[in-house]
Structure 1
Amino acid sequence: MGQASASRLLYRLAAWISDLRLAIGLLVVIAIASGIGTVIPQLEPEGLYHQLYDRQPWLGLLNGERVLALQLDHVYSSGWFLSLMAWLGLALLLCSWRRQWPALQAALRWIDYRTPRQLSKLSVAQTLAAEDVDSCLARLEQLLRERGWEVQRHPDRLAARQGVLGRVGPLLVHAGLVVLLVGAAWGALGGQRAEQFLAPGRTLELIDSRGHSQLTLALDAFAVERDPAGRPEQFRSRLRILQGSGIDAAAVEATELEDGQARTPAQAVREAEISVNHPLRFRGVTFYQADWGLAAITLQLGRSPELQLPLQSLPQLGDQVWGLVLPTRPDGSDPVLLSVASEQGPVDVYGSDGVLIGSLGVGGEALEVNGLPLRVRGVLPASGILLKRDPGVPLVYAGFAIALLGGGLSLLATRQLWAIAEAGEPAGRLHVAGLCNRNLTAFAIELPLLLGQLSSPDGCRG
């Protein structure tokens, strides 16, 4: 009795997990969670979430601490999101096992109806009077085979079917979704992501988890395209991938070489231009044009040589403002703050009291700052390049392909037809009936047209 109760409990649990309504609910929750992942920045430093949401909580409910506690900073690799996908995958597998697989097995089995009474209970049924029912049955078999039906013939009856392949469609859809979920989970757990700002003429060396150099990425040129109002519209980077041993590692990291050159002589194996929405894929790694920034400013103080000084982001002055503190005396006193928001300038100069001293154009005239002529010779932009390695991408694409194939096959109607020849005096009768899982109305119209071709010379009549 205990084993029977346990079996019933497991059956009920499997039925609940594989319920269509539950699967739809899981899809809705996963879609909402995916939407949240596109709204809240992902995989950023913790400080950014406190900066964004402590003063203005997200949706008025979640501050930075709660966003981090709920793992909303990495939705797609969070435990609860992966659990939802695992639950959906299990539901699809159980549904296939409990419903789709038995339906396919039933479709593959030949059903042998032996009496006219059995046929009269089917959805579409018709009876023809025939002087020679055997000839009518043979003619019907011939017509069905000419139209691509599979036919199983008995002396006084036949069974035929068409479109059995359509029964495979739902199984393939479920299988494709499961493969897609596995690929997405694998990519979330086993993928790597690194974002670096790279100035033209500099290089990034990609290393594996053991510190071995894999290849080197060189930035030859970077340009920011702007609209008439000066707002950035598009970013473009011209890249060279220098020869390495290939990318085949458990982890990929990016480090910038200080001298701007590769440590060992290297030869370019790939040259390409990337821009927003046009990434480069190479040996399992995808290079995205993600952002832009300002790397350095070239200054001239009086008659001094040109000095290239690094710029730092100044979020307290704005979202896209960079600058540096520059002393104007040999002893480091009387510092001024230089701030710039575009590689085209202007460069604003602020005194130690925070008062604006003036603005400098890039390549323009000098500005007297604390008795010292100051010129801006150039501003060097930096390309924000996102490197991602996602081992689950092939599975995701394969899952989409399998699901699309299954969806296409699911559109095929599965039709079944039976005919029984009943001898009699002075005339016999041919009983024909059929089933169709899709567009039954069209099948009900087509069947009389098919039987209409059984009229003379065989002596069949409706």
Structure 2
Amino acid sequence: MRPLQRLAGWISDLRLAIGLLLLIAIASGIGTAIPQKEEEAFYHHLYDPNPWLGVLQGEGVLRLQLDHVYSSSWFLGLLAWLGLSLILCSWRRQWPALQASLRWIDYRTPRQLSKLSVAETLVTDQPGAGLERLEAELRGGGWQIRRQDDRLAARRGVLGRVGPLLVHAGMVVLMVGAAWGALGGQRLERFLAPGRELELLDSRGRTQVTLALDDFRIQRDPAGRPEQFSSSLRLIPPPAEAQEDPRAAAPASTAAAISVNHPLRYRGMTLYQADWSLATISLQLGRSPVLELPLQSFPQLGDQIWGLVLPTRPDGSDPVLLSLTSEQGPVQVFGPDGVALAQLVPGGAAQEVKGLPIRVASVLPASGILLKRDPGVPLVYSGFAIALAGGALSLVATRQLWAIADARAGQLHVGGLCNRNLTAFAGELPALLQGLESAPVEATRA
């Protein structure tokens, strides 16, 4: 039994809890510095040429699970360890302290009061009347009183003893919510072009909601750099009624808008405006109808460069590369040797490239939407609220006071304890006794 008690004492040690909090804070900083939950190739591309902190390459980042810090086994282990430490600390220390503060302690002799942190003695001809005046004064100040014939016990601010327990409970609830969100949460990022729809399915393959993008806008500064992205969405609920009854009307959609730093919360999901891309380019080749062709990114050519390889002959030979950096253009045309052949403006006139007239009708941008579902968010917010409430209650000082009337010696002995700001309490007690000495007995009895 003793080894278990020693282990419990070590786990519930305050220094260990502080060390765990420091490690969790450092790990959270690492999770902020390193992009999370990207493809493996992303980390090799980012950290193989330039190791993180000059030490870790992409393989090291993946091996240490730094690509998903908050759901890694070692981070969840730290949370579990800290939670166990807080639970044991509450069970071994805070709960007994609360129970002790709720029990009335009956001091019967002046000698017992003299050993308290604050003790005073008032010499009076009528110690019993002084005890009555003290009782009335304390009751008027909101103290709880337990009165005996020649003595009393009083206390105030016992609720403050609940504060540390609530702080620990709130932190445990917060960590449970964080772990639940890391393990059970979902994260999905998709690029959606205007006029397209995206069905979101639950774990059973049933449609939760259909996300339709009506419009996507990019606001740019005078230099052409993007400043803000915004998407106009329609959220269409699943057609459950239509499946049961073919004659049922289609479910009504909900219009919404998202932009950077202005997400949308819908049925437990959060939709963020995360990024943007170029989806398609509309081309007219000679006298052909307008063709809508998909664009792809070319990271080897630079950041945010899109394009496509277009053959200029019916047999698919003699290709050219069309590249652009924004939906406003211009569209650069390069030959196989990398020589610039033409520059096309969306909506402008056609230009001849290797004998083939090419006109760019338009370029369609795509909205990068990030969808997150975190089932632990209610617990995280609840944990914060509980911890804040506990912190506020912890500021309430718990005061205890005892008084004994000694009729033979003509003395009123008063002593007290206080868990916070003992200096102020020590100054209040003499002032309280002076007030009792100056107050008339008849007025108090009336």
TM-score, normalised to structure 1, is 0.91
> How many angstroms apart in 2 are the aligned matches of 1:346 and 1:36?
40
Does 2:426 correspond to 1:444?
Answer: yes
Q: Distance in 2 between matches of 1:230 and 1:155?
A: 87
Partner of 1:25: 19
Kindly provide the CA deviation profile for residues 299-340 of structure 1, in whole angstroms up to 9, marking residues without a partner as x.
112222111110011110112111110111111111111111
Aligned to 1:152: 146
5+ residue gaps, structure 2: 241-247
Deviation above 4 Å: which 4+ runs of structure 1? none
SS state of the match for residue 240, structure 1?
strand
Counterpart of 1:445, as a letter, is G
The structural deviation recorded for 1:358 is 2.6
Partners of 1:155 and 1:269 in 2: how far apart? 75
Q: Is the 8 A contact 1:217 1:242 kept in 2?
A: yes
Instruction: Name 2:36's counterpart in structure 1.
Output: 42
Q: Conserved in 2, the CA contact under 8 Å of 1:276 and 1:290?
A: yes
Is 1:370 the equivalent of 2:354? yes
| C-alpha contact (below 8 Å) 2:239/2:251 kept by paired residues | no
Cα distance, 1:375 vs structure 2: 1.5
Counterpart residue number, 1:199: 193
Question: What is aligned with 1:212?
Answer: 206
Summarize the Cα distance change of 1:292–1:265 in structure 2 as closer, same or farther, 3 Å threshold.
farther
Segment of structure 1 superposing worse, 446-455 or 136-145: 446-455
Deviation at 1:297, TM superposition (A): 0.8
CA distance in 2, matches of 1:309, 1:129: 101
Look up the equivalent residue of 2:293 and give its one-letter code. L
Counterpart among 311, 314, 328 of residue 327 in structure 1: 311
Secondary structure (helix, strand or coil) at the match of 1:316 reads helix
Distance of 1:308 and 1:79 partners within structure 2 = 47
Letter in 1 for 2:79: M
User: How far did residue 33 of structure 1 move?
Assistant: 0.9
1 CA distance for matches of 2:422 and 2:133?
24
Q: Which residue of 1 aligns with 2:238?
A: 244
Structural mapping, 1:248-267, within 5 Å: 266-267=250-251
Candidates 343, 355, 363, aligned match of 1:379: 363
Question: Which residue of 2 is the match for residue 109 of structure 1?
Answer: 103
Q: Is the 8 A contact 1:214 1:245 kept in 2?
A: no
Cα distance in 2, alignment partners of residues 205 and 230 from structure 1: 33
Q: 1:79 aligns with which of 73, 79, 92?
A: 73
Q: CA deviation at 1:208?
A: 2.0
Cα distance in 1 between the residues matched to 2:207 and 2:257: 23
Shift of 1:365: 2.8
Q: Is the 8 A contact 2:175 2:380 kept in 1?
A: yes
Match of 1:297 in 2: 281
Counterpart CA distance in 2 for 1:435 and 1:314 is 73
1:248-307 deviation digits (Å, cap 9, x = unpaired): xxxxxxxxxxxxxxxx98434321111112111111111111111110111112222111
Match of 1:457 in 2: 440
Superposed displacement of residue 245, structure 1: 6.3
Distance 2:360 2:110 in 1: 98
Partner of 1:252: none
Letter in 2 for 1:123: S
Q: Is the CA contact 2:270–2:373 (under 8 Å) kept in the aligned structure 1?
A: yes
- Alignment check: 8 A CA contact 1:173 1:403 kept: yes
Distance in 1 (CA, whole Å) between partners of 2:366 and 2:189 is 12
Map 1:165-244; keep pairs closer than 5 Å.
165-244=159-238
Contact 1:243 1:266 in 2 (8 A): no
In structure 1, how many angstroms separate the alpha carbons of the residues matched to 2:250 and 2:323? 38
Deviation at 1:112, TM superposition (A): 1.2
Match of 2:416 in 1: 434
Q: Letter of the aligned partner of 1:120 in structure 2?
A: S
Once the two structures are TM-superposed, the CA of residue 364 in structure 1 deviates from its matched residue by 2.1
Among 106, 119, 126, which residue is 1:125 paired with?
119
Give 1:212 deviation, angstroms: 1.9
Counterpart Cα distance in 2 of 1:186 and 1:354:
52
Report how many aligned residue pairs link the two structures: 434
Shift, 1:62, TM fit: 0.8
Contact in 2 for aligned 1:419/1:431 (Cα 8 Å): yes
Shift of residue 435, structure 1, vs aligned partner? 1.2
Q: Distance in 2 between matches of 1:309 and 1:93?
A: 60
Question: SS of the counterpart of 2:299?
Answer: coil
| Residue 337 of structure 1, aligned match among 293, 298, 321 | 321
User: 1:412 is paired with a residue of what secondary structure?
Assistant: coil
Equivalent pair of 1:242/1:266 in contact (CA under 8 Å): no
Compute the displacement of 1:449 (Å): 2.3
Q: What is the rounded CA distance, in whole Å, between the counterparts of 1:116 and 1:347 in structure 2? A: 96
In the superposition, relative to structure 1, how do residues 268 and 197 fare at CA in structure 2: closer, same or farther (>3 Å)?
farther
Question: Distance in 2 between the 1:28 and 1:323 partners?
Answer: 48
- Counterpart Cα distance in 1 of 2:19 and 2:97: 24
Cα distance in 2, alignment partners of residues 265 and 322 from structure 1? 42
Q: Which amino acid aligns with 1:279?
A: P
CA contact (8 A) 2:171 2:384 kept: yes
**What amino acid maps onto 2:231 in structure 1?**
S
Distance 1:153 1:245, change over 3 A: farther
Could you list the runs of 5+ residues in structure 1 that have no partner in the other structure?
A: 1-6, 247-263
The Cα offsets for residues 75-112 of structure 1, whole Å up to 9 and x where unpaired, read as: 11111111010001001101101111111011111111
Q: The residue matched to 2:208 in structure 1 has which SS?
A: strand
Tell me, in whole angstroms, the C-alpha distance in 2 between the residues paired with 1:95 and 1:270: 49
Whether the 8 Å CA contact 2:239–2:250 is kept in 1: the answer is: no
Residue 143, structure 1, aligned to residue 126, structure 2:
no
The one-letter code of the counterpart of 1:291 is: D
Q: Give the match's secondary structure for 1:432.
A: strand
Partner of 2:245: none
> 2: distance between equivalents of 1:372 and 1:228?
34
Specify which of 350, 353, 358 is matched with residue 337 of structure 2: 353
Q: Structure 1's 393 and 227: CA in aligned 2 closer, same or farther, altered over 3 A? A: same
Equivalent AA in structure 2 for residue 204 of structure 1 = L
RMSD: 1.5
